[in-house]
Structure 1
Amino acid sequence: MVIQTKPNVGELASLIGGIAQIDGDCSTLIPALKLGRRSSATDPMPCIYGLGLALIVQGGKRVTLGDEIFDYGAGQSLITTVDLPVVSYVTRASPAEPFLGMWLELDARVIAQLAAEMEFATPLQVATTRAMSVETLDAGLQDALTRLVRLLAEPPLIPLLAPLIQQEIVVRLLNGGHGPSLRRLVAVGSPSQQIAKVIAWLKQHYTEDVPMDDLAAKAHMSPSTFRQHFRAVAGMSPLQYLKNLRLQDARQLMLNENMDAGSAAVRVGYESASQFSREYSRLFGEPPNRDIKRMRESTRARDGRLH
C-alpha cells in the first residue's frame, strides 16, 4: 500500500506570508497571480470562480457548488475549468496562523496547445465531469509554484521567466490528478467543451431573456441532454446558473455603484422586483437592502481593525 505524505508547503507559506502582510487579496507583478491572507474565518461569500488554480498553504477553506461541498487545506489545490457561481469562505485562520493561499489564472488556449503536444498514459473518458476538483499537491507542481512566487523578488526577470514557469505548471497539471478535467475542457467537440462555450456565452448575455432551448441548440444537444451535461459540469441547472449570475451582478451594482435594489434588478434582467427580492434572499440569506448594509458595516469594521 502506498502512503501519500502530506506536502510540506512551509517555504511557500513563508514567501506568501512575507508578501501578503495585510488581510485581503494581493495582486502581483505577474498579472495572472494573486495572493491571499485572512487573519480570521470569514462569512460565506457567493462569488464566481473562473478558470484557474487555487492553492492553500496555511489554514482551510470551504467552497460550495450547488449541493456539493469542497473542503481543502494546506497542501491541497482546487481547479476550476469554467466560470462557476460558488459560495466560498475561510474556515481555519487566526492572527497567529493566518489563512494563506494563492490563485493562478489559467489560459484555455495555452492548455489546448500544450495538451495537443503531450502524450497521455490513459485515453480520455468521454463522460462529463464536474468543472471543479481538489487534489493533493505533488512535488513537481509544488516546485514550479514555489519558483513562480520566488520570481516576484526579481522584477526584471518576470517578463522572460514567468511565462515559461506558467507553461510548466500547465504541463504538470495536465499530467497530474487535475489532468482529466483540463483535457475535457479543451477536447474538441466533447460535451464539456460544448458546455464551456455555452457558459462563456451566458456570461456575456445573462441580462437578456434566454430561452433554454436556444442554449441547447448552441451546444448542439437536445434540451434534455443539454440540461444533463450542464448540471454534470456546473453542479446546477442552466436556469439556476443564470439566476446566480444575475443576482451576483446585482449585488456588485448595489455595493460598488450605490444602485438601489429596484434599479439593480432591472439592470440584470429581472422584470419583477418581488421575484428579485425573493431569489436574492434565498441566495444571500437576507433581502437586498439589509444584505448590502451588513456587508458595508462588515467592511468598515475590518478596515478599522487593520489601521
Structure 2
Amino acid sequence: MDSSAKKNELIQLLESLLPEEGTVQTDITSLSLSKVSKSSEFACSMSEPSIYFIARGVKEVHLAEQIYTYDASTYMISSVHLPLSGKIIEASKEAPYLALKLTFSLDEMMEVVQESGDAFMQPCTKKCDCALVMGEMDEALLDALIRLVSLLKHPKMIATLSPLIVKEVLYRLLDHHPQMFIKQFATMGSHAYRIMQAIHQINTHFEEPLRISEMAHSLGMSNSLFHRHFKNVTTLTPIQYQKKVRLQMARKLLLSQHVDAATASFQVGYASPSQFSREYTRMYGMPPKSDAKRQGKAL
C-alpha cells in the first residue's frame, strides 16, 4: 500500500471514530482526536509534551515570533510545555480538519533511549534547539499511527498493544534525523534536560516570584548560560515564559471558575491588577472582563 492509500486509510478511520465535531479523549489515555469543519481564529494554549499529526487540513502555530505551518505531510513535536497560539487555516464541511495528538512523558522517552542501547546513548554535543520542531511524515510512522488508532475499534487490545505502538512511535521519532535534538531532553545532565527541569518548575510554581539566580544555581548553570539556553529552547526569556503561563492560567480561571479579573490576577501571582489588565490586553487583544464576556457568548 502506497503512502497516499495509507493517508486515505487514516482519514476514513478517523471519520468513522469522529461522527461529531470536537476533540475526543480516547480510551488510549495519551491519544486525543479532533474534527473541525471550518477554519478557526487564533486560540492560545499551553502545550504539553506532545506529537501533533494532521490527517487532513492545515494548521498554523505561533511560538513568540516563530510561525509554523503543518499538514498531512508533516508533524509537529513539542518536547516541553510551551505557550502556543494556533488556528486551523484549511477545513470545510466537505473535508473536515482531522488531527491526532499523542502526549508523552520524559519517563517514556528515557525508557526508549535506555532500551535502545548505544543507538541513543551517545553524548549530546549539539546546542539546545527550540523545543517545537517540524518533521516529515514517512510510511513507517504513518503505519504505526494507523495501527494505534485502529486499536480504538478493539478495546480489549488497548491495554496490551497500545504501549508497544506508542513506544514504536517514540523510537521512530528519536531515530528520525530532523528530531535528533529530542535526545537532549532525554539525556540526564544535558543543558536541554536542565532547561526542561526549569520549565517544569515554572509551570508548577508559576504564581511564585521567579528568582533567576537561584534557579540557575540549582541547575548548575551561570545566569547567562541559563538565559541563553532557555531562550534557545522556548524562544522566550524565563520572565516572558512565566508571564505567558500566568496569563493563560488567569484566562482559565476567568472562563471556568468565573472569578473577577482582580481575583484571577492575584491567584496567578500578579501584585498589581492594573499591570495584569495591561498585559492581558496585550496578549489577548482585549481586557479580561471583555474577553470573558466574549468567550462566554461563544460558549
- Unaligned runs of at least 5 residues, structure 2: none
Secondary structure of 2:269's match?
A: coil
Compute the displacement of 1:188 (Å): 1.4
Specify the alignment match of 1:94 in structure 2: 92
Per-residue CA deviations over 1:152-183 (Å, capped at 9, x if unaligned) read 00001111111111111111111114541320
Specify the alignment match of 1:175 in structure 2: 175
Matches within 5 A, 1:149-164: 149-164=149-164
Specify the alignment match of 1:215 in structure 2: 215
Compute the displacement of 1:115 (Å): 1.1
Matches within 5 A, 1:126-275: 126-177=126-177, 179-275=179-275
Secondary structure of 1:9's match?
A: helix
What is the aligned counterpart of 1:48 among 24, 46, 49? Answer: 46
Compute the displacement of 1:187 (Å): 1.2
Report if the CA contact (8 A) 1:79-1:178 is conserved.
no
Per-residue CA deviations over 1:233-292 (Å, capped at 9, x if unaligned) read 011110010001110000000100010001000000001011000000111111101111
Tell me how far apart the structure 1 counterparts of residues 139 and 123 of structure 2 sit (CA, whole Å): 24
Per-residue CA deviations over 1:109-145 (Å, capped at 9, x if unaligned) read 1211221232439874331100011111111111111
Tell me how far apart the structure 1 counterparts of residues 259 and 9 of structure 2 sit (CA, whole Å): 44
Secondary structure of 2:88's match?
A: strand
* Counterpart AA for 1:33: L
Tell me how far apart the structure 2 counterparts of residues 224 and 113 of structure 1 sit (CA, whole Å): 32
Tell me how far apart the structure 2 counterparts of residues 195 and 184 of structure 1 sit (CA, whole Å): 10
The verdict on how the C-alpha distance between 1:230 and 1:170 changes in structure 2, with shifts beyond 3 A counting, is same
Tell me how far apart the structure 2 counterparts of residues 51 and 270 of structure 1 sit (CA, whole Å): 27
Report if the CA contact (8 A) 1:128-1:232 is conserved.
yes
Per-residue CA deviations over 1:53-85 (Å, capped at 9, x if unaligned) read 100010010110111111001131111110000
Tell me how far apart the structure 2 counterparts of residues 249 and 213 of structure 1 sit (CA, whole Å): 25
Report if the CA contact (8 A) 2:135-2:179 is conserved.
no
Specify the alignment match of 1:24 in structure 2: 22
- Unaligned runs of at least 5 residues, structure 1: 300-307
- % same residue: 32
* Counterpart AA for 1:138: D
Secondary structure of 1:100's match?
A: strand
Tell me how far apart the structure 2 counterparts of residues 129 and 245 of structure 1 sit (CA, whole Å): 21
Specify the alignment match of 1:33 in structure 2: 31
* Counterpart AA for 1:114: V
Report if the CA contact (8 A) 1:124-1:180 is conserved.
no
Tell me how far apart the structure 2 counterparts of residues 116 and 179 of structure 1 sit (CA, whole Å): 17
Q: Give every structure 1 segment of 4 or more consecutive aligned residues whose post-TM-superposition deviation is greater than 2 Å.
A: 5-8, 116-126
Compute the displacement of 1:6 (Å): 7.6
Q: Would you say how many aligned residue pairs link Structure 1 and Structure 2?
A: 295
Secondary structure of 1:25's match?
A: strand
Per-residue CA deviations over 1:160-211 (Å, capped at 9, x if unaligned) read 1111111111111111145413201011111100000011111111101122
* Counterpart AA for 2:259: M
Tell me how far apart the structure 1 counterparts of residues 10 and 90 of structure 2 sit (CA, whole Å): 18
Tell me how far apart the structure 2 counterparts of residues 178 and 50 of structure 1 sit (CA, whole Å): 20
Tell me how far apart the structure 1 counterparts of residues 12 and 78 of structure 2 sit (CA, whole Å): 26
The verdict on how the C-alpha distance between 1:296 and 1:163 changes in structure 2, with shifts beyond 3 A counting, is same
Secondary structure of 2:181's match?
A: helix
Tell me how far apart the structure 1 counterparts of residues 229 and 269 of structure 2 sit (CA, whole Å): 25
RMSD over aligned CA atoms reads 1.6
Tell me how far apart the structure 2 counterparts of residues 193 and 168 of structure 1 sit (CA, whole Å): 22
Tell me how far apart the structure 2 counterparts of residues 136 and 258 of structure 1 sit (CA, whole Å): 42
Compute the displacement of 1:229 (Å): 0.4
Tell me how far apart the structure 1 counterparts of residues 268 and 4 of structure 2 sit (CA, whole Å): 45
